[in-house]
Structure 1
Amino acid sequence: MTKMDEIKPAAPEAKETGETSVPDLPKPAARRSRVKWTRLLVVAAVLGVVAWLGTPWIIARFTQVHINDARIAASVVTVSSEVAGRVTELPVLVGDSVAAGTVLASIDQESSQPQLDAVIAKLAATDAQLSELENRKGMLTEQLAARREAANAGIAAAEANHEAALAVLQNTQTRHDRVVKLAEQNVSSQQSLDEVNAALATATQQERAAYAATEAARADLAIVEADAAQIAVLDSQIDSVRAGRVAIEAERRLKEIDLAHRTIDASFDGIVDATFVDVGEYVTPGTRLVMYHAPENVWIDANVKETEFSRLRVGSRASITVDAFPGRTFEGEVIGMGGAATSQLALLPSPNPSGNFTKVTQRLPIRVSIDADGVELRPGMMVEIYVDVAG
C-alpha cells in the first residue's frame, strides 16, 4: 500500500523541470470566431444553391405556361363496312404499317359478282334491241325517201301528161267547133263531122285519164307520208328503250359500287391501331372493321387552366417533352384555342340542384402543333408543354 509520504516528494520535481500535465486550451474568443464564419459559409452556400435552382423556376413562372394535361392526337380513321356479308380476309394486325391502296379487309363477293354479270347481260340485250330499232328506223327512212321521190316523180309525170291531154283536148275542141260551123253551112261533109266528134270524145277521155293518173300519183305520195308516221313510232320505242337502258345502267353502277365496297383499301399511308372483327364474322353496313391513322399528321390536344388562358395566343411558341422519349425536347406552336370550357362539352352535365357549390378552376382546350422530327409519335401519348408567353 502506497503511503502519503512517498507521494509528496514527486511534486517538487515537476516544478523543477517546468512541465505540466494539463494541455493548453484554445482561447474562447478565437473558437467562437471560427464557428461564426463556418455558419456564414454554410448559409451562403445554401442560399446560392437555392438561388441557382430557384431562379429558372421563377423566370419560367412569369415567361412560360406549363401544361401537363396534354396528349398526342391524330386523325384516327375508323373504317366501317358499307355492305352486308361475311369477312373473308383481314390481312392486317395492330401496329402494321400500311400504304395507300393496301387491302385492309375483304367481304364475301359470292353473290355480288353474278348479280353484276346479270345486269351487264341485261344491258347488252338492251343495247342490241336499241341497235335493231335504230337500224329499222334508218332502213325505213331510206325507203320512205325513195318512195317519196318516186311519188313526186309520178306526180310530175302525171301532171305533164294531164297538161298534154288538156292541150290536145283544147285543140280538138277548136277543130270540132270549126267543123260544126262548116257543117251548118253545108260546106263540110257528114264524115268530117263524125270524125271530129270522135276525136273530141277521145281527147276528153284522155284528159280525164291523165287527171286520174295525177290524182293517183298524189294518193301514192299521201300513202308514203302516212308510212312516215312509222318513224315517229320507232322514235318513241327508241326513247323508251333508252330510258330503260338508263335505269339498267344505274343498276349496273350500283352493283359495281357494291362489289367495290367489298374490298376495303387504305386511303392513305398509316399505322393500324385496332381491328374489330375476325375472318368469318358476318357484318352489316356500319360495322367497324379497322382503325388506323397517319403517323406524319399528328398534333397535341391540351387543356389549359382558365386563369392562364388569357396569356396564350395563336402562334405562341412552345417547347414539348414526351413521356415516351425522356431527355428529348420538341418544338411547336399554338395553332388553335377553344371557345368553351371542357365542362360545357361533357356528355353528362353537372347540375347543382342542392345549392352546394365548390368553385373549381375550369380548363379550356387548345391545339398545339409539334415537329416530330422523324420520331413516330402515337396518339394518346402523354406530353408536357411549356408555352412561351414572354413576347
Structure 2
Amino acid sequence: MAYRDEYAQGQGVQGDAARDRAAPDAAPGTPRRRLRRVLLPLALLAALGAGGREGYAWYTTGRFLVSTDDAYVQADIATLAAKVSGYLASVPVVNGQAVRAGDVIARIDDGDYRLALRAAEDKLATQRSTIARIARQVEAARAQVAQGEAQIEAARADQVRAAADYQRQTQLAQSEFAARARLEQAKADRDRSDANVKAAEAALLAAKANVAVLEAQGREAESLAAELRTGVDRAARDLSFTELRAPFDGVIGNKAVEAGAYVQPGSRVAALVPLDSVRVDANFKETQLARMRVGQPVHIRVDAWPDRDILGTVESFSPASGSVFSLLPPDNATGNFTKIVQRLPVRVKVPAEIAREGLLRPGLSVVAKVDTRGLGAEAPEPRAVSHAAAQRHAARE
C-alpha cells in the first residue's frame, strides 16, 4: 500500500510539471498562436488566388487549346545513293557537316567511264565520216542522173536523124534512085538509134534508183548516228554520276561508306537532312479535330528546349488516319470489335527564321497546342471530303 501511494504521488508530480510546461504555449496571447492565425488566412488567400488565376487562364485561353504530345520534328530527308558501280576514290564529307547544293559528297573512280565515253565518241566520229561519204556518193549519183538525161537527149536526136534518113532512103529506093545496100544501112541506123534511146532511158532509171538507194543509206546512217549520239550522252551521264553531289542545302548524317569501298547502283552513301525546312507532324485524336482549321496558330514546345515557345501554324491535314497507311490496315468487319480512337497526322509549319537556326532536328519530341480561337483559311481534309461527297449525293438526287 505504501508503494502504491508513493507511485501515485510521483505520477501526480510529473503531471503537474507537464501542465506547467504546456501552459505558456496554450495561452491565447502567445506569439505562435498569433502567427498561426495570420498564416492560415494568407495560405487560403494564396490558394484561392492561384486557383482563380488558373481558372481565368483556362477560361480565356486553355479551353481553346487542343494539345497532343504525340508530335515529332520531321524533315524530307534524302538518302544519297550511288548511281553507278565502282570503287570510291574519296568521300570528302563527315557526319554533321553542312553542305550546299552541288557540293561533292563522294567520288567514284572514273577511269572506266572516261574510256567508255571516248569509245562512244570515236564510234560517232566514224559514223559521221560514213554519212559524209554517202553524201558525196549521192552527189555523184545525181551527176550520173544528169548525164543519163543528156545521153537520152542525144540518143533521141540520133533517133530522129536515123528515122528521117531511113524515110528518105525508102523513097529513093521506090524511085530506084538509091542502092539497096544504102536502104538497109539506113534501116540499121534507125533500129540502132531506137535501141540507144531505150538504153539511155534504162541507164537513167538505174541512176535515179541508185540515188534513192544512197539517200536511204544516208537516212539509215543518220539514224545510227543518232543512236551513237545517245550512247555518247549516256556515257557522259554515267561519267557525271561518278561524282555524287548534294541535291540541296543540308547537313550530312548517317555516313555509311569510306574511300576504297565498292559501291553499286543504289548503295547508300549518306543521308542529307534539310534543317532549314523542318516541320512538325502532330498526331491528334479524331475527337480533337472538330475546331481545328488550316492556318490556326500552334504553340510548339520541344522537349529538348522546354523553356522556348515556338509559334507555328497548321499547314495541312492528312487525307487519312495513320492506321490506313500502315502495312496491314485494320479490318473491323469481324465479330469481335473494339473501338479505338484513331489519330490523324496534322502538319505544322515552323517559321523559316526558327528553322534556319538549326536547333530543330528531325525526331525530337514535341508538345503541340493548337489555338482554335482563330478560324483558319479552310476546314480540315475530312470535312472537305464529306462536303464533296454530300455535293455528289445531291447531284445524283
TM-score, normalised by the number of residues in structure 2 = 0.74
Q: 1:158 to 1:387 in 2, by over 3 A?
A: same
Q: 1:349 to 1:145 in 2, by over 3 A?
A: closer
Question: Kindly, what percent of the aligned residue pairs are identical?
Answer: 30
| Pick aligned residue for 1:253 from 233, 258, 275 | 233
Deviations 1:123-157 (A, max 9, x none): 21122122212211211211221232132233124
Deviations 1:2-60 (A, max 9, x none): xxxxxxxxxxxxxxxxxxxxx9x9988xx999976764444223211332244324544
Q: Distance in 1 between matches of 2:330 and 2:165?
A: 112
Please say if 1:375 is aligned against 2:357. Answer: yes
Q: 1:157 to 1:47 in 2, by over 3 A?
A: same
SS in 2 for 1:280: coil
Moved more, 251-260 or 67-76: 251-260
Q: Distance in 2 between matches of 1:91 and 1:123?
A: 36
| Structure with larger RCO (C-alpha < 8 A, sep 6+) | 1
SS in 2 for 1:151: helix
Residue in 2 that maps onto 1:69: 70
Q: 1:219 to 1:383 in 2, by over 3 A?
A: same
SS in 2 for 1:155: helix
Shift of 1:282: 0.7
Q: 1:41 to 1:256 in 2, by over 3 A?
A: closer
Residue in 1 that maps onto 2:148: 147
Q: Distance in 2 between matches of 1:81 and 1:331?
A: 39
Residue in 2 that maps onto 1:138: 139
Residue in 2 that maps onto 1:310: 290
Matches within 5 A, 1:282-301: 282-301=262-281
Matches within 5 A, 1:80-99: 80-99=81-100
Q: Distance in 2 between matches of 1:33 and 1:96?
A: 68
Question: Which amino acid counterpart does residue 385 of structure 1 have in structure 2?
Answer: A
Please say if 1:387 is aligned against 2:370. Answer: yes
Residue in 1 that maps onto 2:160: 159
Q: 1:323 to 1:144 in 2, by over 3 A?
A: same
Q: Distance in 1 between matches of 2:167 and 2:39?
A: 158
Q: How many residues align?
A: 342
Given that residues 165 and 203 in structure 1 are in contact (C-alpha distance below 8 angstroms), is that contact kept between their aligned partners in structure 2? no
Q: Distance in 2 between matches of 1:230 and 1:34?
A: 126
Q: 1:130 to 1:32 in 2, by over 3 A?
A: closer
Q: Distance in 2 between matches of 1:329 and 1:292?
A: 27
Moved more, 326-335 or 197-206: 197-206
Matches within 5 A, 1:344-363: 344-347=324-327, 361-363=341-343
Matches within 5 A, 1:2-81: 39-81=40-82
Deviations 1:90-126 (A, max 9, x none): 1111222222211111112121211221121112112
Shift of 1:309: 2.8
Deviations 1:294-313 (A, max 9, x none): 23322111112333233322
Q: 1:139 to 1:34 in 2, by over 3 A?
A: closer
Residue in 1 that maps onto 2:203: 224
RMSD, aligned CA: 3.4
Given that residues 81 and 270 in structure 2 are in contact (C-alpha distance below 8 angstroms), is that contact kept between their aligned partners in structure 1? yes
TM-score, normalised by the number of residues in structure 1 = 0.75
Please say if 1:332 is aligned against 2:312. Answer: yes
| Pick aligned residue for 1:320 from 300, 303, 306 | 300
Q: 1:213 to 1:66 in 2, by over 3 A?
A: same
Given that residues 173 and 180 in structure 2 are in contact (C-alpha distance below 8 angstroms), is that contact kept between their aligned partners in structure 1? no
Q: Distance in 1 between matches of 2:307 and 2:262?
A: 48
Given that residues 337 and 366 in structure 1 are in contact (C-alpha distance below 8 angstroms), is that contact kept between their aligned partners in structure 2? yes
Gaps of 5+ in 2: 1-23, 375-397
Given that residues 169 and 203 in structure 1 are in contact (C-alpha distance below 8 angstroms), is that contact kept between their aligned partners in structure 2? no
